[in-house]
Amino acid sequence: MSKLNITVNGQIHHLDVPESRTLAQVLRYDLGLTGTKIGCEEAECGICTVLVNGTPVNSCIFPAFKAQGREVQTVEGLAHDGELHPIQQNFIEHGAVQCGFCTPGLMMTATALLNENPDPDDHAIKVALKDTYCRCTGYASVIAAIKSAASEMRGEGPLPVNEPDVSEPMHAISRSVPPQYVREKVTGAAKYTDDYCFDGMLFARTLRAAYPHARILSINTEKAKSLPGVVAVLTHADVPGENLHGLVYRDWPVLCGDVVRYIGDAVAIVAAETEDIAAEALKLIEVEYEPLLVVGDPKFAHSPEAPVLHPNHPTGNLLKHIKVRHGDIEQGFAQADYIVEREYRTPTVEHAFLEPECSIGIPPGVEGHEKLTILVGSQIPYQDRNQIALALGLPEEKVRVIGTLIGGGFGGKEDITGQIHVAMLAQATGRPVKMLYTRQESLAVHPKRHATIIRMKTGATKDGKLVAVEAELYGDGGAYASLSDKVMTRATTHATGPYVVPNAKIDCYAMYTNNPPSGAFRGFGVTQSAFAVESNMDMLAEMIGIDPIEFRRINAQKVGTTTATGQVLRESVGLLETLSHVEHDMVTSDGDFRWAWRDGHKAYAWGLACAYKNTGLGGGAPDRAEAEVEAFEDGSVEVRVASADMGQGLAHVVAQCTAEELKLPYNRVRVLLCDTDLTPNGGPTTASRQTFVSGNAARVTSALLREALTRSAAEFLDVPPETLYYEEGLLRHNGKSVELGQLVGWMKANGLSSKVRHEYHAPATQPLGTGGDMHFAFSYATQAALVEVDMETGAVKVLKIIAGTDIGRAINPLMLQGQVEGGIVMAMGNCLTESYIVENGIPWTNLLSRYKMPSIKHAPEIISHLIEDRVSTGPYGAKGVGEICSINTSPAICNAIYHATGVRIFSLPVDQDALLRAIRAGQTEVYTAWHDVR
């Protein structure tokens, strides 16, 4: 311990802390300033940025004693006397806050910029924020917010917000209200799991497998247990209940005892007084292994030579064979004048949510917790509870899962990570236990987007009518099933694209391998198949000699057409409208439109692609969400639902639905999410379903509460209930009125409840193969990409994206636009920069510095049109948006690259090396990606 004298946000501190501390650790752990977040500890993501003597630095690698005698400014120092700094205010106004985890870093970096440059242009902002990452927003709103703050700070007032046009705005629906908790997120007060601390809390770490595939011969924990400060070391022998978890198939050991199947497998867990001791203890655990043959890729997994990874699985390494059969494939191709058949590859992709996984287990009896409680930022709290209870051998009612704020998810926080482990350690030690994954551990452990190999054959007539699609998909499911079954089903059922294809035969093989598991990732398999579909579409259009837009228009799904799974589309098919909006911006509004042109050594071109994506679970799965809505005597209303807000904005959606039904001001509605004791089950936050199901649950439940309130008010005011109407928190009739709060007081006094709970059931769906409605709604999208290719280096830059997105209704137009912008930029990563590399089961991508996601310098100009083709069963006509915006960007970019260079890309991410060599050699097809460079 030594004396550290630093000034933080104007306050002088004299701290006795170890000299080994980083500045981030001092701020977070010694000063409790948890607004500064830690994302990677590699000086890569920039979200830990604070100012030291006014200069932005990465506090995660900045030694605390380097700040000796200096002034440090953190996000907590931005607001003064409760008044937000213009940067904070403008981040809210311009919709630049989604999950909020990177927000402090973005704002601190922006603060330093504006101190130096009061009027930055886009370029200056991009330079300043180049290494401060945001995975949610796509940066457009961030740039707008910074410019507006600068304008305000110059005394010129804030700039107008880029509000999307929407139709028929209602009282609270189709209004760009600020998201929930946004003030907390911009001030640093928002609490994510690692921001919680409890008295006597222990710190836990996990011992991971030493091999991607090996038999465990012995585990000896004695030395680790005897290390001073270690409180518990647990192995498979200590799992009280069933040593398995899994969302679809229960095939994933809580702690491995006999075999390890991937490098992220957990073998032992340690709880100790400090993180350092826990880490030290891991080194003392002795595990003897017998390495086994590694199944490194899905095609080998399918071969007879491959060892069977899950002997209990009835079809061996074939996790699931998914089939779509529609029409007569042979007849279909017999009618085709043109046929294209190609093989596509897409890589494993990492979510790289900026908040690494964290769980805290609290045993019963601690700090008023009556039962075993787990704090976690999870996308599926009720299924967490179920899986924890089964592993601990407890009834579900004995376990409580409390969802904290989530720093991004994108599908990557659906599976169990540390939840069961901290529950076990809390039970074993009787003390609260926190398990925070390092970024590097997060990269190794949680399921990723499936790498796929897709062979796709598409046939069309000379008139431009699609007649047949035959496809074979291989998906690398990794070591455990996770959501492979569902994800690869979606890849398969969407493999005809949003088109009418009368004959289809599609086979998908999801395979077990010894790679990290694959699971849910925004787009849910459709991202992969859309790359093949939309590339084939452009190739066919060229062969036929038809404009690629016209070709899509001819074949587009419309009301009354049938999907390849046999579903007749009865309403809300906005594809053509998305297409015409994009075409208008790209072609019509440019009097001199050309698909491609050259300027010196730069080639420019447009490319276009379409997509569709289901809303909801579909396939016959019951799709439900339950909500509870309660009115209080202070005139406020609380809506409760266990559905996750990982930044996408579910909380404001349910609040808006409640405000709408009760005609309340939005700020009188509170939202309580994800507490299995206090909030009813909203089901998984996946499949673009929550606006639909939880939005509907909030809508219907609020309407039921309204009826109850109306009945009471009618009695209270002594008027007929049908004459009452709601206005701004009042119930009115002919000049008579009663305040909502007053009415609630009266109801309570009369023994009436002002709380309603109701479970919403989405329209029933049918399983694949039955030909019925597999899904109750689809969202549609068209995107056009303008790219610049440096013909001397092969470097590809996306300059502009025009997006048309049919989402039924924009409940919150500004925040929905943020979903679209964020989805596009994330998809640009999928196309151009991201690949999680695994070499025979060993991840090469073991650091965030080995995984490049798009930074603000990649952010293109985005023009977004929201198409509102209402779906009658959706809340006010809304359907899902989370995924549809992130699916067709990759093929749009690759189609543009083709127009620019004459070279077609068949493997992602685009490799500038191979692209340039193809250009030089006059080759027109590239089948390798950058990870193939050896």
Partner 1 sequence: MKLWNHYHTPHSIDQALALLNQYQGKAKVVAGGTDLIVELREGHHPIQEALIDVTQIPELTRLTTTDNEIYVGAGITHSEIVKSAVLAARATCLVESCGVIGGPQVRNVGTLGGNVAHALPAGDGTTSLVALDAEAEIVMNGQRRVVPILEMFRGPGQSLIDSTRDVIIGFRFALCGDNEATAFKRIMRPQGVALPILGCATWVRLNPAQTHFEVARLSITPLGPTPGRAAEVEDVLIGQPATDITIEHAIETALQILKPRTSKYRATGDYRKEMIAVLLRRTLQLAVQRARTGQAIPEGIGME
Q: Which of 786, 788, 796, 857 is nearest to 600 (CA)?
A: 788
**In terms of CB distance, is 472 or 790 closer to partner 1?**
790
- 331 CB contacts (<8 Å, ≥6 apart)? 503
Please state the φ and ψ torsions of residue 152, each to the nearest 5 degrees. Answer: -65, -40
Closest distance to partner 1 from the beta carbon of 415 (Å): 26
Query: Which one among 638, 834, 869, 883 touches partner 1, defined by CB under 8 A?
Result: 834
Q: Do residues 902 and 711 lie in contact, with contact meaning Cβ atoms separated by under 8 Å?
A: no
Number of H helices, E strands in the chain: 23, 36
From the CB of 358, what's the least distance to partner 1, in Å? 16
Answer yes or no whether residue 20 interacts with partner 1 by CB under 8 A: yes
Beta bridge partners of 778: 614
Considering only the stretches 377-385, 646-654, 815-823, 916-924, report the one whose residues sit in contact with partner 1 under the rule CB under 8 A.
916-924
Q: Is 743 within 8 Å of 724 (Cβ atoms)?
A: no
Q: How far out from the chain centre does Cα 395 lie?
A: 31
In sequence order, which residues have a C-beta less than 8 Å from that of residue 672 and are 6 or more positions away?
638, 639, 640, 678, 679
Q: Which residues within the stretch 119-138 sit at the binding site for partner 1 (CB under 8 A)?
A: 123, 126-128, 130-132
Strand partners, 215: 259, 290
Query: Which one among 153, 189, 248, 279 touches partner 1, defined by CB under 8 A?
Result: 279
Taking the C-alpha atoms of residue 131 and residue 111, their distance in angstroms, rounded to an integer, is: 15
- The reply on whether position 13 binds partner 1 by CB under 8 A is no
Q: Give the range of 16-24, 367-375, 383-391, 541-549 binding partner 1 by CB under 8 A.
A: 16-24
Provide the minimum distance between the beta carbon of 281 and partner 1 in the complex, in angstroms, as a whole number.
12
Contact 473, 319 (CB under 8 A): no
Q: Does 732 bind partner 1 (CB under 8 A)?
A: no
Q: Is 857 a binder of partner 1 (CB under 8 A)?
A: yes
What are the beta bridge partners of residue 797? 788
User: Among all chains, which residue has been given the structure tokens 């089939």?
Assistant: 323
CA angle 823, 898, 883 (to 5 degrees): 15
Is the Cβ of residue 315 or residue 849 nearer to partner 1 in the bound state?
849
Work out how close the CB of 791 gets to partner 1 at its nearest, in angstroms, rounded to a whole number: 10
In the bound state with partner 1, the residue whose beta carbon lies nearer, of 49 and 679, is 49
Among 152, 275, 538, 583, which residue interacts with partner 1 (rule: CB under 8 A)?
275
Closest distance between partner 1 and the C-beta of residue 558, in Å? 39
Q: Is 170 in the site for partner 1 (CB under 8 A)?
A: no
Nearer to partner 1 among residue 15 and residue 708 (C-beta): 15
User: What tokens does 531 get?
Assistant: 């790359």
Rounded CA gap, 28 and 65, in Å?
Answer: 15
Write down the least CB distance from residue 264 to partner 1, Å.
Answer: 18
Q: Which is nearer to partner 1, 14 or 934 (CB)?
A: 934
Q: Work out how close the CB of 20 gets to partner 1 at its nearest, in angstroms, rounded to a whole number.
A: 4
To the nearest whole angstrom, how small is the minimum distance from the Cβ of residue 109 to partner 1? 7
Distance CA 888, CA 902 (A): 20
Q: Which stretch binds partner 1 (CB under 8 A): 15-23, 332-340, 606-614, 672-680?
A: 15-23
Instruction: Report the distance separating Cα 210 and Cα 350, nearest Å.
Output: 21
Contact flag: residue 920 with partner 1 (CB under 8 A): yes
At closest approach, how far in Å is the CB of 128 from partner 1? Answer: 6
Alpha helix positions (H), 728-796: 740-749
CA nearest neighbour of 808 among 882, 864, 874, 764? 874
Residue 277 or 336: which CB sits closer to partner 1? 277
Report H helices in 117-272.
122-128, 140-153, 182-187, 222-225
- What distance in Å separates the CA atoms of residue 197 and residue 359, rounded to the nearest whole number? 11
Nearer to partner 1, 54 or 393 (CB): 54
Q: Is 912 in the site for partner 1 (CB under 8 A)?
A: yes
**Total chain residues near partner 1 (CB under 8 A):** 59
Q: Which stretch binds partner 1 (CB under 8 A): 83-91, 272-280, 492-500, 894-902?
A: 272-280
Rounded CA-CA distance 849/693 in Å is 38
Peptide bond into 432 cis (omega under 30): no
Query: Taking phi first (over 0 means left), then psi (-120 to 50 degrees means alpha), and beta for anything else, what does residue 286 get?
Result: beta
CA distance 335 to 328: 11
6, 8, 41, 830: which one binds partner 1 (CB under 8 A): 41
Determine if 835 is a binding residue for partner 1 (CB under 8 A).
yes
Site string for partner 1, 45-84 (x = CB under 8 A): -x--x-----xxxx--xxxxxx-x----------------
Tell me if 906 contacts partner 1 by CB under 8 A.
no
Q: Which of 50, 133, 262 has its CA nearest to residue 851? A: 133
| Among 259-267, 409-417, 469-477, 788-796, the segment contacting partner 1 (CB under 8 A) | 788-796
Give the interface with partner 1 as residue ranges (CB under 8 A).
Answer: 18-20, 41-43, 46, 49, 55-58, 61-66, 68, 109, 112, 123, 126-128, 130-132, 275-276, 279, 792-796, 832-835, 837, 844, 847, 849-852, 855, 857, 909, 912-913, 916-917, 920, 930-931, 933-934
